[in-house]
Structure 1
């Protein structure tokens, strides 16, 4: 008998278009969804982790949704065998009722206070909330500026793309894909957090027998090829999981053809560890040569892009520090014994 698996996935990110999350889509058809509100993210994360660990100890595989702000926290846990999930209801775009197919149960953790938060603490949290909003807006603005710089980098390269070569490369990949059928899922391949851009492409694709890794600079057509292959897979009804870029949701960093255990990956800046069976495709070959001034401009844009992300990361770090302050206020007031009893009750309900 195989041991159960704990899997960590990136389902949300602060992109150039703001906060984007695939959580609603991932849990929209489940039997039960518990949504936690009314407490600091750190405490909600702890509650969700313990809830998920309970099912893992019972022999169930568990998928944890990593926080887009802090990869040490989770925003959700999903138990596939039971079709049940628990998620953070305090996300920048809050989870609300009304999604088709949901049996959604909202749990307000404020109901589990041992004592009301003192007026001084409430005033402090109100002040911190204002600072949180400021840092959130500054971080989002820097990521948006970085996205515009990246778009100019794409434009520099895309004007030099050999589209006939792109077409031939896409057809080569499509020829190697079979015709088994199943449903599609969407995740992020990377996420921009207070620790910078994180990626789990190596870990996510570790079970794939064959990985096609596209190498080349930004704008060399890697996402175009992946999108073309993904479109073919969709037409064929193949079992495909889509992994989006953490800064630009519209761009794909990877697809995995589940039934064939095959991946097509944008390996341009991801630092993948090559292994036997990998096929590396040089997308640099589809680019016509840059003029000297274009090459200099591309290097300059790359530096500007990294600087914007560093500035955005600094704002996210401040944001997270403010969240920690709120967490301390909540921790002093919560009745953890009562909270543990509620979690045990939810554990048993999840098994039914």
Structure 2
């Protein structure tokens, strides 16, 4: 069987601020290398190179992408080996379970020449302050957008037939889980399939579900019960011993956008804008909540009000995205300062040593 690559996010720039589920995705690993060191130390480049190398060796690789930089990753996982390498710098807080036995810190900051950086201290502090203010502004705007989104939801909540919604949810659970059962404790991983980035909304829905046999595309509107349906499906699978990947909404982490049950080769996801997709496999199925459980004519009855809400919501999201993009530009300025103070021979030595440590661990396992 060919090796697989999957891409997802463990963190999000959301309406609730910066949300971090990194621990949830690495707490089962037997070996974890935590990279320390700030801008321009090549953490992302190192991880991507390691991922490519092990993929070429025939091993599955998980890339945990950065919501703050579209070209960077926050970590890689080699699930078959139980090994991970993650960015352990702020805001990626990693709680070690057994330092030295499981976690090992790799400090790329030893490659800095502090003599070159000390004279630039004020510039560095100024840029860091500006970056923090950009994120603060973005999160404040996303919070405002959530308030507008609540107006959107109220329209459909007031026009939904909850009995029909319960009915279609239970039918879906019966179809997916049925009488299947596994005599084990279910594993749960909380993640994001996408979210707000400096380049706007990005998602990996099709990537994550590419090898899934049974895909359910949920169509509906805000407030039509998509997230509630997903929560019930996830709980049912967990109760029956199946491992579950729970993908939260990058905008509102309290809501769910997708559930994957790989042991049943099943994915159920919210397939509406900004992550709208359509069936492409003969086994794909659509669950049209709007047609099934929403009062007919709701879109038409509230057309003017919905257009106003949509316009306001998109405008605020655009403004918030602008601040994420500005933060990325400022971080690029910061990296340019640090590049001139880094000894890349030291970085290459650290990279080589880490590669050997992973190789040694692998050969000791074999």
TM-score range, shorter chain: over 0.9
Partner of 2:252: 248
Q: Give 1:73 deviation, angstroms.
A: 0.6
Q: Deviations over 1:118-172 (max 9, x none)?
A: 3333321111011111111111111111112112211221122111000110111
- Which residue pairs with 1:324 in the alignment? 332
Cα distance in structure 2, aligned partners of 1:68 and 1:99 = 28
Alignment CA distance shift 1:321-1:101 (3 Å): same
Q: Does the 8 Å contact 1:12/1:67 carry over to 2?
A: yes
Q: Give the corresponding residue for 2:364.
A: none
Could you tell me which residue of structure 2 aligns to residue 310 of structure 1?
318
Matched, 1:272 2:277: yes
1:305-336 residue CA offsets vs partner (Å, 9 max, x unmatched): 11111001110111001111111122211111
Partner of 1:173: 172
User: What are the residue-to-residue correspondences of 1:18-57 with 2, within 5 Å?
Assistant: 18-40=17-39, 43-57=42-56
Ranges in structure 2 where 5+ consecutive residues have no aligned partner: 362-366
Query: What CA deviation, in whole Å up to 9, does each residue of 1:72-126 have, x standing for no partner?
Result: 1101111112211111122425334458997222222221125633333332111
Alignment size in residue pairs? 351
Residue of structure 2 aligned with 1:287, choices 289, 294, 310: 294
1:17-43: CA deviation from partner (whole Å, max 9, x where unpaired): 111122111112312222222221672
- Runs (5+) with no aligned partner, structure 1: none
Greater shift in the superposed pair: 291-300 or 129-138: 291-300
Match in the other structure for 2:187? 183
Change in Cα spacing, 1:59 to 1:297, as seen in structure 2 (3 Å) is same
**CA displacement at 1:14 relative to structure 2:** 0.8
- Report the Cα distance in structure 1 between the residues aligned to 2:277 and 2:358, rounded to whole angstroms: 38
Matched, 1:118 2:99: no
d(CA) in 2 for partners of 1:147, 1:186? 21
RMSD across aligned positions (CA): 2.2
State the partner residue of 1:336. 344
SS at match of 1:325: helix
Could you tell me which residue of structure 2 aligns to residue 103 of structure 1? 102
Q: Matches of 1:282 and 1:129 in 2, distance apart?
A: 46
Q: Deviations for 1:3-22, whole angstroms, at most 9, x for unmatched residues?
A: 32332222211111111122
SS of the residue corresponding to residue 86 of structure 1 reads strand
Q: Deviations along 1:168-187, whole A, 9 cap, x unmatched?
A: 10111112123243523222
Q: How does 1:76-95 map to 2 (within 5 A)?
A: 76-95=75-94
Match of 1:197 among 186, 195, 201: 201
Contact 1:41 1:323 in 2 (8 A): no
- What SS class does the counterpart of residue 185 from structure 1 fall into? strand
Residues 170 and 225 in structure 1, CA contact (< 8 A), matched pair in contact too: yes
Cα distance change, pair 118–235 in 1 and its aligned pair in 2 (3 A) = closer
What secondary structure, in the 3-state scheme, does the structure 2 residue paired with 1:68 have?
coil
Contact 1:243 1:255 in 2 (8 A): yes
On the 8 A contact 1:113/1:334 being kept in 2, the answer is: yes
